[in-house]
Amino acid sequence: MNGGGQSPYDTKKPRQRRGRGRGGGVRGAKRELSGYSSTGVGDCYGLNQMESDREREESRDWSSPRASDFDKGYFQSYAHVGIHEEMIKDHVRTETYRKAIMSHRSSIAGKVVVDVGSGTGILSIFCAFAGAKRVYAVEASEMAVHAQEIVKANNLSGKVIVLHGRVEDVSINEKVDVIVSEWMGYMLLYESMLGSVITARNRWLKPGGLILPSHATLYMAPVTNSPRYCESIDFWRNVYGIDMSSIMPLARQCAFEEPSVETITGENVLTWPSVIKHVNCHTITIEELVSVTAKYKFSSMMRAPFHGFAFWFDVEFNGIKPYPANDQTQQSHEGSSVSKKRLKSDELVVLSTAPEDAPTHWQQTLVYFYEPIEVQQDQIIEGLVTLSQSKENARFLNIQLEYSSGGHSFVKQSILR
């Protein structure tokens, strides 16, 4: 987890990354999924208990909507091996999940697990290594075919059962003790995959069961980033001795209209962050994810140009226990500033995407203004942020920022797609 040196994730542009989102997500779905059919257990590989067509139809949860064309493209993008390579090579991500699963070995050994969005099956295999009795690896993309081969190659066919289909459609004829999933998108909520975890919880999890990760927190903070602005905008003032400044308004529009996924450092952050949303995976509902609104109020720690807001998140693998009583981060109300880092604990496993922590493929999500605002030390920055699922595609995220500072008020609207 060494954060020294140049990060492989250090980029100034949105990453065309993965289907399930993290920027490539839906954006990475280049091809239409032809002949797509999500029929649950009927698409499983290597299973002895194959159901008949009639039984599958009877067992299907018809209250769940069928996959839309957007969903089909989303799942298809996850069939590309490069997406999974990038995720697995994210050492912070993969090692934290492995550590979390092994640290909960006593709750996993001899138990039944479901892995939501299992991809190559790596987390399912970690659970098998932790002693799980049986693991259902649910994967909607064609990567399920390859996951089955990986399971077979590791002599785990009797323990890890690959189900090819959506969580909303596949059948599991028993309750499970544990749910594991790497569901987080950019800004935590992008791609709406948390909804699938909620569906799995409501369908199969036993009372008192374990969900990994158990909690998540989304943060935001005002930032300064003059090099980024100069790179994209001021560049046009003098191009090989040619004045191209007339193109600067268009350059601002193109560079900053949409959110940017990039790596910043703690030096870019003007204030302590504010909590936008706490998520308790044991209690959150799908309805809560449709729209999230929080007020915020910051006091700038320095005099600097204020270029926009950064968003990041962390997740905890804390079982069903409540947030630690001595953890000020989790005690903070949504919309309140966080003035202390989480206290370290040998028992608390946390995956953080904060600017001051080791970089991950999630990086941070930046919403830049078209024009920076000069702020003084101790100047107040306050307003309202609303994150809502796009009506165009629920996996997209609408961002509305209302902010005031120095006697002026502004609104910035953007879509993370």
- For residue 399, give the CATH number of its domain: 2.70.160.11
Cα gap 394→189, rounded to integer Å:
11
Do both 170 and 238 map to the same domain? no
Say if 10 falls within a structural domain: no
Say if 375 falls within a structural domain: yes
Helix (H, G, I), strand (E, B) or coil at 284: coil
Say if 303 falls within a structural domain: yes
Q: Which residues pair with 162 in a beta bridge?
A: 137
Do both 410 and 356 map to the same domain? yes
Burial class (CB in 10 A: 0-12, 13-18, 19+), 239: exposed
Say if 9 falls within a structural domain: no
Supply the range of the domain harboring residue 374.
216-416
Do both 276 and 199 map to the same domain? no
Do both 85 and 106 map to the same domain? yes
Among 185, 212, 239, identify where a domain stops. 212
Do both 208 and 99 map to the same domain? yes
What's the pLDDT at 402? Answer: 97
Do both 340 and 298 map to the same domain? yes
Do both 270 and 346 map to the same domain? yes
Say if 284 falls within a structural domain: yes
Contacts of 283 (CB under 8 A, 6+ apart): none
Q: Is 191 a catalytic residue?
A: yes
Q: Give Cα separations from 45 to 24, 49, 299 (angstroms).
A: 27, 10, 56
Among 153, 180, 212, identify where a domain stops. 212
Say if 404 falls within a structural domain: yes
What's the pLDDT at 76? Answer: 72
Widest CA span in the chain: 73
| DSSP letter (8 states) at residue 358 | P
Do both 352 and 260 map to the same domain? yes
Say if 403 falls within a structural domain: yes
Q: Of 139, 168, 182, 316, which residue is the catalytic one?
A: 182
Do both 235 and 205 map to the same domain? no
Mean pLDDT by 10 residues, the chain (417 residues): 38 39 39 31 37 39 60 68 93 98 98 97 98 97 95 98 96 98 96 94 98 98 96 95 97 96 97 98 97 98 98 91 43 58 67 98 97 97 97 92 95 95
Do both 321 and 381 map to the same domain? yes
Cα gap 225→223, rounded to integer Å:
7
Structurally, the chain folds into a number of domains equal to: 2
Do both 402 and 312 map to the same domain? yes
Q: Of 191, 316, 334, 382, which residue is the catalytic one?
A: 191
**Phi and psi, residue 270, nearest 5°:** -85, -20
What's the pLDDT at 82? Answer: 85
Among 165, 196, 212, identify where a domain stops. 212
What's the pLDDT at 49? Answer: 37
Say if 93 falls within a structural domain: yes
- Residue in the block written with tokens 């006593």: 106
What's the pLDDT at 51? Answer: 40
Any idea what the CATH number is for the domain that residue 59 is in?
3.40.50.150
Do both 154 and 298 map to the same domain? no
Would you give the distance in Å from CA 62 to the centre of its chain?
27
